[in-house]
Structure 1
Amino acid sequence: MEEAAELANYLPLSFKTPKEQEYIEFLWDAFEMNYTNGKYQFAFLAYHMLTMSFVYFNIWQIKQTEPGDFEKGLIGFGRDEKTLIEATSPFAFSIVPERTMLRFLKLIACDNGKIGTYVKLVDDRNNSAHPNGNIYFSTPAAVDIKITEILRVVDEIQRHSRPVIERCYREFLLKSHDPDEREYSEASDQIREALIHANYMSQRDIGVCLEYNLGDLREFDEFPSIEALHQQLHAAYGNA
């Protein structure tokens, strides 16, 4: 179960509402309780729900940072198109079947082969959740193998998301470097609220921001204040 905790590094550090945070905490509690008590099949169900939440958060970041690409990805969604465009929370994506929602990952260059692997995890969850008389995960070893597979998938999706996170961070630096123009005068508050909270950023996302190369921003007259904001991110989160 120790390895399973790694998924937390891919989930948001801050949520839009207390209800969203409560939901994620509930899933973690359900996973840990069922794993500890030997109910491994139910532990897998909770862990898969956490994983799909991670996927929704990533798709939300695409929606926020690359809205044009997101709208192109809606081709074929028919009656759900308006709801998805107007969504105010990543959890609104749950109106679409998970298998279908995974198609959005093509927007971050996940090919059909990879998406097929992700869909297989959904199928495994569906099989586990149906009253078919089968206990697919009856030992800790069985569920641990699946957890290892899930974490590999999560890390793969995260790596594909890197360009989106970099674009998001670049826009943040350009819009937030001036204390007189941004929402919060204190840099730490601006980073916490306008970057991390507003974009459902995880520890892994912040890692991408910390590694961001400021080279292409040196042409701006405001570069010193941009660099100062970037340094503030390092000061606050560089040792996390």
Structure 2
Amino acid sequence: MENALVIHEYLPQAYPSANEGEYIRFVWEAFESNYQSGKYQFSILAFHMLYMSYVYFSVWQIKQAKPEAFTHAVLFQQKEKELLTASSPFTFSEVNERSIFKFLRLAGCENQHIGKFQKLVDQRNEIAHPNGNIFFSDQAAADLRIEEVMQQIRGIQVHMTSVLHGCLLQFLRDSANPDDREIVDAADHVEINFLHKHYLSRKDIETCLACDLGEFNDSPFLGEVHALVNLIREKMED
């Protein structure tokens, strides 16, 4: 269970919609209650839903940071319209799960990585159908699968560095001048137009804070840039 708790560091700290946050809590509680009652097969199904949510958040960040490359990648996809007009990461649930991983190539994931990610979907499909088999009948088997999932999440997260840095740099370029902000309060601006917009997790924010801000050294708004970054740091520590 302790290893499973780590997934919260990779899921958004806050959501634009209360319903989205409620959904993630619901799925976590489904995992937790089934795990604690020894219904490991159902707990793993719920944990897979959290894993796929993480993947959707990552693809959403790619869409925000690399819109042109994302648009090109979407061409000729079966759900092209749904992908291009997605209003939230959860819209990606309309796309075949195995297909959604292909967008991680835009973050630098290679085919061998994609294949490993897709394998978890194939294995989930095996336990999601009434085939008469109980694949996770004990805690040890469930814990092993949880660790496999967390390894994949950590692998994806490593590749997301350039994407997350791109999200931060664009936010700072758009926000450095206070007169250009629609939201006057800087803390609210950070929360709504950065954290919520990109569905950022604690791990995402840690990655953002390691970004090189050298391009702003000669900016007349350098002080504002540092103030915004400090607000982001404070949000991570909340």
Q: Is 1:135–2:137 an aligned residue pair?
A: no
Q: Is contact 2:101-2:117 (8 Å) kept?
A: yes
Counterpart in 2 of 1:4?
4
Q: Name the SS for the 1:113 alignment partner.
A: helix
Q: Which runs of 4+ in 1 moved over 6 A?
A: none
CA deviation after TM superposition for structure 1 residue 185, in Å: 2.2
Q: Is contact 1:210-1:238 (8 Å) kept?
A: no
Unaligned 5+ segments in structure 1 are none
CA distance in 1, matches of 2:236, 2:126: 42
Q: Name the SS for the 1:138 alignment partner.
A: coil
- Aligned AA for 2:149? I
What is the correspondence of 1:1-240 to structure 2 with a 5 Å cutoff? 1-78=1-78, 80-234=79-233, 236-237=234-235, 239=237
CA distance in 2, matches of 1:237, 1:96: 32
Q: Name the SS for the 2:153 alignment partner.
A: helix
CA distance in 1, matches of 2:47, 2:81: 30
Deviates more, 1:30-39 or 1:158-167: 158-167
Q: Is contact 1:41-1:135 (8 Å) kept?
A: yes
CA distance in 2, matches of 1:73, 1:144: 35
CA distance in 1, matches of 2:23, 2:237: 28
Q: Is contact 1:214-1:227 (8 Å) kept?
A: no
CA deviation after TM superposition for structure 1 residue 175, in Å: 1.3
CA distance in 2, matches of 1:237, 1:188: 9
Length, aligned pairs only: 238
**What do you get for the CA RMSD once the two structures are aligned?**
1.4
Q: Is contact 2:107-2:159 (8 Å) kept?
A: yes
CA distance in 2, matches of 1:131, 1:226: 55
Q: Name the SS for the 2:177 alignment partner.
A: coil
CA deviation after TM superposition for structure 1 residue 18, in Å: 1.8
CA distance in 2, matches of 1:204, 1:166: 13
In the superposition, the TM-score normalised over structure 1's length comes to: 0.94
In the superposition, the TM-score normalised over structure 2's length comes to: 0.95
CA deviation after TM superposition for structure 1 residue 75, in Å: 3.1
Q: Name the SS for the 1:152 alignment partner.
A: helix
Q: Is contact 2:34-2:40 (8 Å) kept?
A: yes
- Aligned AA for 2:207? V
Percent identity over the alignment is 43
Q: Is contact 2:16-2:192 (8 Å) kept?
A: no
- Aligned AA for 1:104? F
Unaligned 5+ segments in structure 2 are none
Deviates more, 1:41-50 or 1:206-215: 206-215
